[in-house]
Structure 1
Amino acid sequence: MGQLTHAQLRRLDEHKYSCTSSSLMDPMMQKWWCWLVDQCSRTLAPNLITITGLLINIVTSLLLVYYSPDAKQEVPRWACFLCALGLFTYQSLDAIDGKQARRTGTSSPLGELFDHGCDSLSTVFVSIGVCCSVRLGTHPYWMFFQCMMAVTLFYCAHWQTYVSGTLRFGFIDVTEAQFGVMAIHIISVIFGSSFWSLKGTSVLSPVVPLIFILAPAILIAWKSPDGLYLQNPTIYLLTFGCVSARITNRLVVAHMTKSEMAYSDASLLGPGSLFLNQYFNCPIPEQILLYIVCVYVIYDLIKYCREVCLEICNHLNIMLFTIVPKCPTGTKASVEKNGSSSKYMTRSKSKVKNN
C-alpha cells in the first residue's frame, strides 16, 4: 500500500491553492521576480527550478558546516558570502517556480507540495548555516532553541493553513526573515564571525544587545493590530526602558570589571514573548501580555541590581546604605595577643635597657 489512499488522491483533484500576503518586502521584490521568470525558457519545468534553488542552498550551508562542524570555529568570510548568495538564489527561484507554472499552464497540486516540501528542508539548513555563521555552538542550548524555533514556526504556519484552508503571510514573514539571515551572513563577511560571539570585548559588540531591544520595540509597535503602543504608551516605554536599563547595567559592570559583554539576557524573553504572540495572531490579548511582561522586566531589573550590589558589598566588605565608622589612623594602636599595645611594649623594653 502506498503513502496516499485512493480517497486522498481523489480529493487531491479538488484542491485549490489559497494564499494571502501582507508582506512588507514581497511587493518590492515582485519586479525582480517577474523579470527573472521572463528569462526562463518555457520548457523549463517549475519543479526543476525549485529543486535547483534548494540544492544551491544546501551546498552553501554545508560549506559552513564543513568549516565549523560544531558551530564553534570561525568560518571563512568568503564562505559566509557564498551562503548569503545561495540563500538569495534559493529565495528567488522559490518565488518564480509558481510564476513559471502559471506561465506555462502546468500548475498542479504536486507543484505546491513540492514547493513546501523543499521549503521545510531549506528551513533546517538555513538555521544550521546561520548558527555556524555566528558561532552559536559556543552556547549549544541557544543553538538548539534557535533551530527548533525555526522549524516550529514553519510547522505552525502550515498548521494554520490546515485549519483555515489559506496560507497567510504576515507583515514580517518568510521573505523578511530570509533577508535578515542574509544580513547576518553579510555582517559576518564584514566583521568576521567572531563579531557574533555571545561574549565579546570588541568596540562593536555592545551594539548587538541594543539591536535586540530596538528592533523588537519598533516591530511590535508597528505590527500590532490593536495599536499596542498608541493605546499604552507609558507602559510600553516603561517595559522596553527597563529592558534597556538591564542591558546598560550589564555594560557598566563589564566595563568596570574589565570583562566580556554578554549578549544573551533573561530580560529579552519579555519582548520575545510579545513578538511571538503577534506571530501567532495574538492568542493572548496584547494589552494583558504587555502588563505581564512589564511586571516581569521590572522584577528582573530589581533582582539583577540587588544581586550585583550585594555581591560587591560582600567582596569589598562594605554596607550598601549605611556607613561603618572607622577609627582614626593616628590614634589606632595595634593590640598584641596578650592585650598590651605595641607602644606600651616599646616603652617597657627601653626601661629594661636603661637599667
Structure 2
Amino acid sequence: MLEKKALEGIAAYKYKAGSYTYLDNVLNHFWTYSVQFLPIWMAPNLVTMIGTGVMMFTTVVQLYYAPHFAETCPTWVYILSALGLFFYQTMDALDGKQARRTGASSPLGQLFDHGCDALCTVLNVLSAAATCQAGPGLLVHIALSSVSITFYLAQWEEYHTGVMSCGNGFFGVTEGQLVLVAVHLAAAFFGAGFWTTELSFLPVVSVTMTEVLLCTLVASNVLLAYGNVSNVLWAAADTIPREELGNKHISKPIALFQLIPIAILLVLGSLWICGPDADNYKNYPVLFLFPIGIGYVFLSTRMIVSHMCKVPFTPQLRVIIPFGFVILNAYGTAVGILSKPLIPTIVSSTLYVIFIVLVYLQFVFGVVKDICDFLNIFLFKIKPVVASADKLK
C-alpha cells in the first residue's frame, strides 16, 4: 500500500500542535487526572479505538430509533448519545497522554487518532441531526459537508505549513463537541420538541431551534475554513524546513488543486440528494449521507497519510469516478443521455455505499499493516522492550 519512501517519511515524522483554546487548558487537568486510571498495559491506539467504538455504537442506536432524522427517540437514547460523545472526547484526549505514559509514542498513533477523528466527525453530525429532528433535507447535507470539509482543510493546512490548526484559539474541536453534548442533553431534559420549537418572536421569518443550530454550525465552520485557507495562501514558501518537506510538493497552485477533489464530492453529493433521487433520499437518508461522509473521511485520511509520509497527495479518482457514474445513472433520463436508468437508482446507491466502505477499509488496513511492519510495532498492543545483551550481563 505504501512505498518505501513513504514509510521512511512517516518514520521521521514529528508532530507540531497548533494553538489550544481556554477550554482545552481547563479540561487538561481532568484529562491528566483521568489517564492514571488506564491500565499501564493498554496501548494508546486501543484507547482511541475504544472511544471510537463507543461513538459508533451510540450513533447506530440513535439512527435505529431515528432513521429519517425526524423521529422522537426515547430519553435514554439522548442521554446515551451525550455520554458516548463525552466519553469519546475524553478517550481522544487520553490516547496521547497514555502514549507518553507508557513510552509507546509513534507516528502511527497520530495517524490512527486523526483517522478516527475524521470518522467520528461524520458520526457526530448524523447523531446531532437525529437529536434535533432535522429531517432528511438539504440542510443536514450542508451541515455534514461543512464540518467534514473544515476537517479536511485542517489536514490540508498541516500538509502545507507543518502545523495542525483545528480552531481559531477561542473556539475549536473541544468546544464544538461539548456543544453537541449539550444538544443531546437538551433533548433529554426538555424533550425532543425543544429543538423543533419555532422562534416566533423573529420579525420577518419563523425558524426552528434546529435551523438556528445547524445554520450556526455551518457559519462557524465557514469561518474556521476561511482561517485554514488564509493560513495556507499567506504562508511563506519556506514555511516547512527542507528536512521536514520530504517528497511533498508545496506551492500555492498545488494547494488550490488539492481542493478540487473535496469540491467535486460536495457538488456530486448535492446533485445526488437534490435530483431525481430526492425521494429515495427522503426515505433512506442514511443510505445517502453516510457514503458522502465516508468519501470526505477517505480524502481527509489520504491527506493525513500524505502529510505524515511526506509524499504528494493524489486526487483519488477511484472514489470520485464511481460516484460520477451513480449521478449519471440518476440524471441520465432527465438530461436525455439514457432512456432509463442502467440499474434502479436505489440499487446503484446501495452498491456505492458498499464500494466506498470497502475502498476506505482496504486503504486503512493496508496503511496500518505497512506502518506496523516497517516500525516493528503492534497496533493494539505495546511491544515489550527487549533488553540488549550487554545490559543482561
Pick from 138, 141, 145: which aligns with 2:138? Answer: 141
Q: Which amino acid aligns with 2:171?
A: I
Q: TM-score, normalised by structure 2?
A: 0.54
Q: Aligned residue pairs: how many?
A: 227
Q: For 2:184 and 2:208, how far apart are their aligned partners in 1?
A: 21
1:238-277 alignment to 2 at 5 Å?
Answer: 247-250=202-205, 262=208, 276-277=222-223
Shift of 1:249: 3.2
Identify if the C-alpha distance between structure 1 residues 94 and 21 changes in structure 2 by more than 3 Å, giving closer, same or farther.
same
1:184 and 2:177 matched: no
Are residues 146 and 269 of structure 1, via their aligned partners in 2, closer, same or farther at CA, if it must alter by over 3 Å?
closer
2:199 maps to 206
For residue 119 of structure 1, report the CA deviation from its aligned partner. Answer: 0.6
Which of 150, 153, 158 lines up with 1:156 in the alignment?
A: 153
Pairs within 5 Å for 1:272-291: 276-277=222-223, 279-281=225-227
1:37-91 deviations in whole A, cap 9, x for unaligned?
1111221110110000000111111111000111111111110110000000000
Letter in 2 for 1:59: F
Deviations 1:287-339 (A, max 9, x none): xxxxxxxxxxxxxxxxxxxxxxxxxxxxxxxxxxxxxxxxxxxxxxxxxxxxx
In the TM superposition, what are the counterparts of 1:113-128 in structure 2 within 5 Å?
Answer: 113-128=111-126
Matched residue SS, 2:18:
strand
- The SS at the match of 2:2 is coil
Q: Percent identity?
A: 33
Equivalent-residue separation in structure 2 for 1:60 and 1:87 (angstroms):
8
Question: Residues 55, 265 of structure 1: CA spacing in aligned structure 2 closer, same or farther, 3 A cutoff?
Answer: closer
Q: Which residue of 2 aligns with 1:227?
A: none
1:135-192 deviation per Cα after TM superposition (whole angstroms, max 9, x unaligned): 111x511111111111111111111111111112432110000000001001100122
Hey, what's the Cα distance between the residues in 2 that align with 1:94 and 1:71? 27
Structure 1 gaps, min length 5? 211-246, 252-260, 285-355
Give the superposition deviation at 1:194. 2.1
2:11 counterpart residue number: 13
**Residue pair 2:147, 2:218 contacting (<8 A) in 1 also:** no
CA offsets per residue over residues 113-150 of structure 1, 9 Å max, x none? 0101111111111111111000111x511111111111
> Structure 1 pair 269/195, CA: closer, same or farther in 2 (3 Å)?
closer
1:33 shift after superposition: 0.3
Distance 1:98 1:78, change over 3 A: same
CA distance in 1: counterparts of 2:63 and 2:84, whole angstroms: 14
CA distance, structure 2, for counterparts of residue 127 and residue 158 of structure 1 = 19
Runs of 4+ with >3 A deviation: 261-266, 268-275
Tell me the secondary structure at the aligned position of residue 13 of structure 2.
coil
- List runs of 5+ in structure 2 lacking aligned partners: 231-393
SS at match of 1:4: coil
Change (3 A) 1:94 1:278: closer
Determine the C-alpha separation between the residues in 2 that align with 1:269 and 1:51. 31
The residue correspondences of 1:16-165 to structure 2 (distance < 5 A) are 16-137=14-135, 140-165=137-162
Q: Check the 8 A contact 1:61/1:125 in 2, yes or no.
A: yes
Helix, strand or coil: the match of 2:165? Answer: strand
Residues 264 and 194 of structure 1, relative CA distance in 2, 3 Å threshold: closer
**What is the rounded CA distance, in whole Å, between the counterparts of 1:64 and 1:131 in structure 2?**
10
Read off the aligned partner of 1:206 and give its amino acid letter: L
Over aligned residue pairs, what C-alpha RMSD do you find?
2.6
1:122 partner SS: helix
Aligned to 1:353: none
**Aligned with 1:168: secondary structure?**
coil
* Partner of residue 290, structure 2: none
- TM-score normalized by the length of structure 1: 0.59
| Shift in Å, 1:248 | 2.5
Cα distance in structure 2, aligned partners of 1:282 and 1:152: 11
Cα distance in 1 between the residues matched to 2:21 and 2:219: 21
Whole-Å separation in 2 of the counterparts to 1:104 and 1:283: 37
One-letter code aligned to 1:159:
W
The whole-number CA distance in structure 1 between the counterparts of 2:82 and 2:37 is 23
Distance 1:271 1:78, change over 3 A: closer
Displacement of 1:264 in angstroms is 7.8
